[in-house]
Amino acid sequence: VTLAEVAAHAQVTAITVSRFLREPALVAPATAERIREALERTGYVPNRQAGQLAGGRSNMVAAIIPSIANSIFAETVQGLADALQSQGLELMLASTGYSQEREAEQLRAVLGWFPRALAVTGRRHSAAALALLRDAQASGVPVIEMWDQHADAEGFAQVGFDHEAAGRAVAQHLLERGHRRLAYVDSGVAEDFRARERGDGFAAAARAAGASVLRLAAAPGDAFDAGRAALHSLLGTAPAVTAAAFANDHFAAGALLEAQAGAVAVPQRLAVAGFGDFALGRQLRPSLTTLRPPRQAIGLETGLRLIEAVRSGMPPQGCALPWELLPRQSTADARAGGGSGRRPGPAGAQ
Amino acid sequence: VTLAEVAAHAQVTAITVSRFLREPALVAPATAERIREALERTGYVPNRQAGQLAGGRSNMVAAIIPSIANSIFAETVQGLADALQSQGLELMLASTGYSQEREAEQLRAVLGWFPRALAVTGRRHSAAALALLRDAQASGVPVIEMWDQHADAEGFAQVGFDHEAAGRAVAQHLLERGHRRLAYVDSGVAEDFRARERGDGFAAAARAAGASVLRLAAAPGDAFDAGRAALHSLLGTAPAVTAAAFANDHFAAGALLEAQAGAVAVPQRLAVAGFGDFALGRQLRPSLTTLRPPRQAIGLETGLRLIEAVRSGMPPQGCALPWELLPRQSTADARAGGGSGRRPGPAGAQ
DNA sequence: TTGTAAGCGTTATCAA
DNA sequence: TTGATAACGCTTACAA
């Protein structure tokens, strides 16, 4: 069913129906009524390809994330979709599997749809991807990098937070509780740059305070199992370590469960901290100290800023979003009487 | 950059470049080389809207799922995306938030892109959605309903499994272990029809064996908390119940954790079974008996069958995919020495 | 308030 | 092996 057929039913021409669809106020009430009926009877569905080709712009925003299956990004996507939907924009999603090569590929694929705006994850891109992003931005397509907030930005707006600072905060938390021999368990995924940066911040803060830091990488495969294995290798090879931070809550939860099974006292023998604030962490005993990233807010804010950029024609603005350190039982101070409450991260315009 | 500009660079006309892009073998080697160079130099990106408008068909498959954030569907989407990608098809994703109304809306939105094929979740649709799906199918767009496999199909191919049978299998498992007073904790989401059907099957099998079944609904909000609360209300209002099945592993895990905290012996005082085989279930002590649905296989198989339908022009075929009951410690027979091994579900063509 | 004409960037068809 | 021409279904710009 095309516009022309609907128009025939309503005894007008196609352009009038098109106009009614976009600006109903511009057609006479009687005509509008006939068009409404015709639309109903024919079950007309506007052809987006044709509309966007003729109009010269799409109503689609493309987002590229590392993994759909990672729940942390699922919430970001949800926030993004919510923001866009309110403006009648559609979301096209692509995932890279944490591969820079696939990022460029996926970028090329979505660019063929000529999206109205672009959201990518992180600030590290292959040369090919970077070139595509720059071209897009140069041709007026707003681009936002999600989840990051770092000085070495490549000229794109960033909506996220500083992962090194987050890592430092976790270290600080452990240092304040008297720990001097720390460990950081990295993600097994080499391309999870943000986890690595949190580790960098963690290590830097610890060393600055005169503490030692052992870094090891989690095994690939099931994250719980990897966390369990990491606990063993930690206790085996570095028995002096008294506190460990993990790249995410799944690793940390695995370690907690293994500690439970092996009668390793947490936090007395080993304090444990995670990242991400996954729902499970609050349920475990001891409950898991973690850092809550603004998972959904990143998506929502990205959406709002892209919309604004589209509307105004100006490049989008980035911003730092606050995270929150959630001290719980797994790092409770064995000497004193527990945690010191919540500690919000920094926020403010870029 | 348009095809015409590339063509000018290569000293041919647009159609030759277009041909080179689709069937390189059809252009002379020397010309091909010039075109390749021109493509490179100009950084040409094909305009999908124009291509699909002219070609009369898209290379996009649309999938509609209840929730992106639900990990169970994330794996299905992954499988689907993998299958499609191998054929150069792109995936457009829409989520409904378990609302039938939004399903029709989202369906209308994606139909505007004239997808090559359509994958929806489940067999229950609003009248509006049903009409859209029928129209699509009638106009030659293959449609598959994922996750379901039921006799009252509305004429669409189904790739999934029979949830009543899955529910019956869980009940059977508990009955075999001597339980006669059972409970089923439904999902708090009223529109999760599949969880309800599993409950129906569970209840039917239990009653057929002369056992009693109490059904209650989990509270909305955090699933772990809902599981904890469900355990309490179960122990409080129905102390005679000796085994409980939950609509998903998160509820069940919450119950397990609460039982642990409250010194309720599992499985001795209460046997607990879940659904979904989430990674956590294997980690808990007692480990969680669950039923593993073919999460990823559903997506993969749907993709393959849609591709085949597109290729052949015939309507897609559905199929039943096997699930697996995973008996673990949370339902171990207190009388005997443990579980009886894995029990695969039924499989075969529809 | 409605309509006409042109064109968006590509592909199908047919011709050379 | 390459090209000319005519769509595809819609919107923009302008005219009536």
Please report which residue ranges of chain B form alpha helices under DSSP H: 3-10, 14-22, 29-42, 48-55, 71-85, 100-111, 127-138, 163-176, 193-208, 223-237, 249-261, 295-312
Residues in chain A: 350
Separation between Cα atoms, residue B114 and residue A270, nearest integer Å: 57
pLDDT at B151 over 80: yes
Model confidence at B335, pLDDT cuts 50, 70, 90, reads low
pLDDT at A348 over 50: no
Could you give the strand order of the β-sheet that contains A157-160, starting from the edge strand earlier in sequence? A90-95, A60-65, A117-121, A143-147, A157-160, A319-320, A348-349
Separation between Cα atoms, residue A290 and residue A272, nearest integer Å: 9
- Which of A46, A71, A111 shows the shortest C-beta gap to B71? A71
Q: How far is the CA of A51 from the C1' of C5 (A)?
A: 18
CB-proximal positions of chain D, under 7 Å: 1-13
Task: Give the CA count within 13 Å in the CB-facing half-sphere of B210.
Answer: 2
Identify the closest residue of chain B to A75 by CA–CA distance.
B69
Q: Are the beta carbons of B42 and B34 closer than 8 angstroms?
A: no
Nearest Cα to A146, choosing from A115, A163, A123, A114?
Answer: A123
B240 burial type by CB count under 10 A (0-12 exposed, 13-18 middle, 19+ buried): exposed
Chain A contact for B18 (CB, 8 A cutoff): no
Helices (H) and strands (E) in chain B, counts: 12, 14
Separation between Cα atoms, residue A248 and residue B73, nearest integer Å: 22
Separation between Cα atoms, residue A205 and residue A171, nearest integer Å: 6
Q: Are the beta carbons of B270 and B264 closer than 8 angstroms?
A: yes
Separation between Cα atoms, residue A282 and residue A288, nearest integer Å: 6
pLDDT for the residue numbered B190 = 84
* Residue-wise burial string across B153-173, b where 16 or more C-beta atoms lie within 10 A, e elsewhere: eeebbbbbbbbbbbbbbbbbb
Residues in chain B: 350
C-beta atoms of B68 and A53 within 8 A: no
Q: What are the angstrom distances between the C-alpha of B324 and each of A238, B101, B275, B291, B347?
A: 41, 33, 10, 6, 11
B324-326/B348-349 β-pairing = unpaired
pLDDT for the residue numbered A191 = 87
Between B349 and A173, the more confident residue is A173
Reported as a single tens digit per residue, the pLDDT across B275-326 is 999 999 999 999 999 999 999 999 999 999 999 999 998 999 999 999 999 9
Q: How many contacts, defined by CB atoms under 8 Å, are there between A and B?
A: 102
Question: Taken in order B4, B8, B12, B17, is the CA torsion positive or negative?
Answer: negative
Share of chain B above pLDDT 70, in %: 95
Cα B29 to the chain's mean position, in Å?
46
Model confidence at B341, pLDDT cuts 50, 70, 90, reads very low
- Which of B78, B112, B228 shows the shortest C-beta gap to A46? B112
Q: How far is the CA of B3 from the C1' of D4 (A)?
A: 16
Cα A318 to the chain's mean position, in Å?
14
Proximity of residue A15 CB to strand D below 7 A: yes
Stretch B213-234: mean pLDDT, rounded?
96
Reported as a single tens digit per residue, the pLDDT across B58-84 is 999 999 999 988 889 999 999 999 999
Nearest Cα to A70, choosing from A47, A90, A48, A96?
Answer: A96
* Residue-wise burial string across A274-300, b where 16 or more C-beta atoms lie within 10 A, e elsewhere: bbbbbbbbbbbebbbbbbbbbbbbbbb
B212-217/B343-344 β-pairing = unpaired
A chain contacts of residue B53, beta-carbon cutoff 8 Å: 47, 49-50, 53
Q: Are the beta carbons of B65 and B299 closer than 8 angstroms?
A: no
Separation between Cα atoms, residue A315 and residue A141, nearest integer Å: 8
Question: Taken in order B132, B138, B141, B145, is the CA torsion positive or negative?
Answer: positive
Cβ within 8 Å of residue B236, ≥6 positions away:
none
Which protein residue lies nearest to nucleotide C4, measured between its Cα and the C1' atom?
A15
Nucleotide nearest to B114 (CA to C1'): D9
Q: What value does the mean pLDDT of chain A take?
A: 93
pLDDT for the residue numbered A344 = 52
Helices (H) and strands (E) in chain A, counts: 12, 14
Residue type, B41: R
Separation between Cα atoms, residue B341 and residue B137, nearest integer Å: 43
Reported as a single tens digit per residue, the pLDDT across B101-141 is 999 999 999 999 999 999 999 999 999 999 999 999 999 99
Separation between Cα atoms, residue B321 and residue A21, nearest integer Å: 44
Residue type, B129: A
Residue type, A180: R
pLDDT at B345 over 60: no
A139 burial type by CB count under 10 A (0-12 exposed, 13-18 middle, 19+ buried): exposed
Cα A73 to the chain's mean position, in Å?
5
For residue B53, the 8-state DSSP code is H
pLDDT at A39 over 90: yes
**Neighbour tally for A84: CB within 10 Å:** 26
Reported as a single tens digit per residue, the pLDDT across A100-120 is 999 999 999 999 999 999 999
Could you give the strand order of the β-sheet that contains B60-65, starting from the edge strand earlier in sequence? B90-95, B60-65, B117-121, B143-147, B157-160, B319-320, B348-349
Nearest Cα to A49, choosing from B323, B7, B116?
Answer: B116
Separation between Cα atoms, residue B211 and residue B181, nearest integer Å: 6
pLDDT for the residue numbered B266 = 95
End-to-end Cα separation, chain A, in angstroms: 49
C-beta atoms of A74 and B75 within 8 A: no
Question: Taken in order A117, A121, A124, A127, is the CA torsion positive or negative?
Answer: negative
pLDDT at B349 over 90: no
Tokens 């199909």 correspond to B153
Model confidence at B35, pLDDT cuts 50, 70, 90, reads very high
Q: Are the beta carbons of A291 and A272 closer than 8 angstroms?
A: no
pLDDT at B159 over 50: yes
A319-320/A348-349 β-pairing = antiparallel
pLDDT for the residue numbered A154 = 79
Stretch A137-159: mean pLDDT, rounded?
93
Chain B contact for A72 (CB, 8 A cutoff): no
Reported as a single tens digit per residue, the pLDDT across A1-18 is 999 999 999 999 999 999
pLDDT for the residue numbered A198 = 97
Task: Report the range of poorest mean pLDDT among A32-41, A68-77, A271-280, B178-187.
Answer: A68-77
pLDDT at A337 over 60: no
Q: Are the beta carbons of A182 and A194 closer than 8 angstroms?
A: no
In the three-class reduction of DSSP (H, G, I as helix; E, B as strand; rest coil), residue B148 is classed as coil
In the three-class reduction of DSSP (H, G, I as helix; E, B as strand; rest coil), residue B348 is classed as strand
Separation between Cα atoms, residue A170 and residue A183, nearest integer Å: 11
B chain contacts of residue A111, beta-carbon cutoff 8 Å: 45
* Residue-wise burial string across B337-350, b where 16 or more C-beta atoms lie within 10 A, e elsewhere: eebeeeeebeeeee
pLDDT for the residue numbered A341 = 44
Model confidence at B86, pLDDT cuts 50, 70, 90, reads confident
Model confidence at A334, pLDDT cuts 50, 70, 90, reads low
Nucleotide nearest to A19 (CA to C1'): D11
Residue A173 Cα, gap to closest chain B Cα (Å): 27
B chain contacts of residue A95, beta-carbon cutoff 8 Å: 81
Model confidence at A174, pLDDT cuts 50, 70, 90, reads very high
pLDDT at A156 over 90: yes
C-beta atoms of B112 and A47 within 8 A: yes
A61 burial type by CB count under 10 A (0-12 exposed, 13-18 middle, 19+ buried): buried
**Ramachandran region, residue B347 (left: φ > 0; alpha: ψ -120 to 50; beta: rest):** beta
Reported as a single tens digit per residue, the pLDDT across A195-235 is 999 999 999 999 999 999 999 999 999 999 999 999 999 99
pLDDT at A146 over 60: yes
